[in-house]
Homo-oligomer: A and B are copies of this chain.
């Protein structure tokens, strides 16, 4: 993948996109996803792993609600990776990640992922560049292993502007409904925006094989961000050519 300069990539929808029309399209996409998930489950040969990354307040939680609500929860699981536990830290960094990969027939959403282990760890100076490179290789190998076992890996980076990010973080303080999301480190993380940008760009540089690219999602507007992800997921599922197995029940 050519080097990505995040400052040159849009955080808002293309000028041609219309909010009302896009929201109608999203409704239709959600219906399609309900049907496609059912096929994925019945077909039983493939699985899909959706990896969501983005800076603080880039809207990962809202995106999950917007795209995946309505899908049969028997076929889709969401796992939010938090700070690793002591036992998780006593293993290699992919140990806890691997446990959450989807079985055939399933969709799995990672709210944060293995990439945190080459992002926050780097910004906080917990690992050096050499270790980051070893981890990039390990991540690429890991995703290849999953792909070879029938898992499609979709990686999304939710790209928000600094203005939008600061506004959302402010809302966590002023909006009573959002106050529960406020965390002590919020201000500090926002102030580290440049450092996060650098390590994200390094991730895109090293972990974007042709078969497993990053999708950079303009994420300032919720309706457009949801559209982008839902459409990519829909197109991916359609391309799998999922089939209901022919029935084994004989006709009388």
Contact = CB atoms under 8 A, between A and B. Distances in A.
Interface in A124-150: 134, 138, 141-142, 144-146, 148-149
A250 to B, nearest CB: 25
A53 interface: no
A3 interface: no
Nearest to A89: B104
Taking residues whose C-beta sits less than 8 angstroms from the other chain, chain A's interface range is 20 to 34
Nearest to A149: B92
B98 A151 contact: no
Interface in A89-138: 90-95, 98-99, 101-105, 134, 138
Nearest to A97: B98
Contacts of A94: 98, 145
A75 to B, nearest CB: 13
Contacts of A93: 149
Contacts of A134: 148
A87 interface: yes
Integer count of this chain's copies in the complex: 2
A27 to B, nearest CB: 32
Nearest to A140: B141
A222 to B, nearest CB: 33
A148 B138 contact: yes
Contact of A98 (B99, B104, B141): B99
A120 to B, nearest CB: 18
B101 A92 contact: yes
A118 to B, nearest CB: 13
A198 B151 CA distance: 31
Contacts of A148: 92, 134, 138
Contacts of A138: 141, 144-145, 148
Contacts of A146: 92
Contacts of A105: 90
A134 B87 CA distance: 31
Contacts of A142: 141, 145
A-B pairs with lowest CB-CB distance, top 6: A92-B149, A90-B103, A141-B141, A90-B104, A98-B98, A138-B145
Given A134-B148, A138-B148, 11 more contacts: A87-B103, A90-B103, A91-B149, A92-B146, A92-B148, A92-B151, A94-B145, A138-B144, A138-B145, A141-B145, A142-B145
30 contacts: A87-B103, A90-B103, A90-B104, A90-B105, A91-B101, A91-B102, A91-B103, A91-B104, A91-B149, A92-B101, A92-B145, A92-B146, A92-B148, A92-B149, A92-B151, A94-B98, A94-B145, A95-B98, A95-B99, A95-B101, A98-B98, A98-B99, A134-B148, A138-B141, A138-B144, A138-B145, A141-B141, A141-B142, A141-B145, A142-B145
